[in-house]
Structure 1
Amino acid sequence: MDEQWRADLALWRIPEEIAAGAPADPWGHSPARFAERTDRALAEPEGPTLARIAEALPPGGSVLDVGAGTGAASLPLAADLGELVAVDVSDAMLAELASRAERLGVPTRIIRGRWPDVAAETPEADVAVSAHVVYNVPDLAGFLTELTRHARRRVVLELTGCHPMSWLNPLWQHFHGVTRPRRPTAHDVIDIAAKLGYDVHHESRPAPLTRFTELEDLAESACRRLCLGRDRADDVIAAVIELDMWPVPRDRWFTLWWESR
């Protein structure tokens, strides 16, 4: 069912000869940067993803947050949460989430691991959410199936319209002569979920914040993703200006949801 999805994701692998020279993990994420996003969401909770979770959440209900990161998709609902079950592979991300959950008074169960590998040890919840995770999931059908089995009421997904690294495609061509893929997309996720038998609803909107506010921040991120040393930051800035990539357009975020039972 998701063979094309798996094949499309495989094309996003970084060529071995380029990855071998990377000074830092090109796929790594900063817990501090994720925590900033969570704090913004706590200060100004808004958007269709939170709304779709909230309308299916009974008073004192539970949320399963898969690929929870630091909690941006779930902790803003703290006032209505009876329990948060947070699943993630990163101890550092989960530590940031746990500290905020404690401060907010949200009872939290932490499960470290990759979904659906840890599904057997994960309890059901009223609503299951997974935000900005699916582009890291080759077996999307299995991922969504277990997510739905663990939701008593609703499943909610949040994702960018296309792969979140797509903004770098012109720079991959410029620095490495590598043409990056255009797929998969959010519509591929919708198609796979529909083929699994789910009555999928969706809406989209511009991302609430721009990706970068300063060229220097863009350059730092791009150097890491492109497997370049930080000493190439000025070269990246020059290329971004030459390729008319600044300011980086806002992503389009999609919220998908379906009733689980």
Structure 2
Amino acid sequence: MDERWRADLALWGIPDEIAARARTNPWGHSPARFAERTDRALAEPEGPTRARIAEALPEGGSVLDVGAGTGAASLPLAASLGELIAVDTSAGMLAELESRAADLGVPLRTLVGRWPDVAARTPVADVAVAAHVVYNVPDLAAFLAELSGHARARVVLELTERHPMSWLNPLWAHFHGIVRPERPTVHDVIAVAEALGHRVRHEERLAPLSRFATLEELAESACRRLCLDAERADEVVAAVVRLDMWPVPRDRWFTLWWESK
């Protein structure tokens, strides 16, 4: 099952000849944009992921947030947190998280690195969460096994139903003649977790916000992801309109969880 996941995920790679033309990292993420999402989550804390963490978290308990970004999944629980352990590959993301944790009075420990590479030096917590991370993880079984091994009570995942770059599929075909795959999906994640012996429960909902507020914002993102020069933004907008892609439908988000005991 894990080998199928790895093979399906590999098909989402960008061909070398296209990647070579990119002026910016097509897989990059902006700490500032992630911070905006975290601030919205702090202003209106809601949703099943937060609820599933909260119900397993003792008062003053600890949360391990893997792929924490700027803290959107964990900081909304600030009032109940005795410690937040945040792991991310981006020091810039963690710097944004540190600023917000300090404002909220949340004791914080950060580790810069990739999970599970840093698992050996990461403390165990009451609840472990990984939100919108798994589609970046080739070795999913090892990732989930270490996550479970670092949670005293519960593991919680949040992810989109399909690969988060699926919205770009018509544009990949239009600009590069590439047909993107249909898998992996959330159901493959569930299958890998169940193969590890976990009883996985899940809840789904529409994403709380649209992916883009404007066509211009969409075009900027699409140019970067498609390895197109920014000057081609007008072409992207025209293609989006012609392909009837606007507004981009909201993703379906899934919350998965299982008890680690």
TM-score under structure 2 normalisation?
A: 1.00
Match of 1:257 in 2: 257
Paired residue total: 261
1:42-81 equivalence runs, <5 A? 42-81=42-81
Match of 2:128 in 1: 128
One-letter code of the match for 2:123?
P
Cα offsets for 1:1-26 (capped at 9, x unmatched): 40000000000000110000011100
Match of 1:149 in 2: 149
Is residue 219 of structure 2 the alignment partner of residue 238 of structure 1?
no
Match of 1:111 in 2: 111
One-letter code of the match for 1:225?
R
Cα offsets for 1:29-85 (capped at 9, x unmatched): 000000000000000000000000000000000000000000000000000000000
Match of 2:213 in 1: 213
SS at match of 2:110: strand
One-letter code of the match for 1:39?
D
- Extract unaligned runs of 5+ from structure 2: none
Is residue 64 of structure 2 the alignment partner of residue 98 of structure 1?
no
One-letter code of the match for 1:54?
A
SS at match of 2:239: helix
Post-superposition shift, 1:205?
A: 0.2
CA distance in 2, matches of 1:32, 1:50: 22
Is residue 162 of structure 2 the alignment partner of residue 166 of structure 1?
no
One-letter code of the match for 1:165?
M
Cα offsets for 1:170-192 (capped at 9, x unmatched): 00000000111110000000011
Post-superposition shift, 1:165?
A: 0.2
CA distance in 1, matches of 2:163, 2:147: 21
Match of 2:7 in 1: 7
One-letter code of the match for 1:190?
I
Cα offsets for 1:92-130 (capped at 9, x unmatched): 000000000000000000011000000000000000000
Match of 2:20 in 1: 20
CA distance in 1, matches of 2:71, 2:185: 24
SS at match of 2:86: strand
CA distance in 2, matches of 1:184, 1:34: 24
Post-superposition shift, 1:213?
A: 1.1
CA distance in 1, matches of 2:196, 2:37: 32
CA distance in 1, matches of 2:107, 2:222: 37
SS at match of 2:162: coil
Match of 1:180 in 2: 180
SS at match of 1:181: coil
Match of 1:38 in 2: 38
Match of 1:225 in 2: 225
CA distance in 1, matches of 2:101, 2:181: 38
CA distance in 1, matches of 2:209, 2:55: 24
SS at match of 1:82: strand
TM-score under structure 1 normalisation?
A: 1.00
Runs in 1 of length 4+ with deviation above 3 angstroms? none
Cα offsets for 1:190-216 (capped at 9, x unmatched): 011011000100010000000001000
SS at match of 1:129: strand
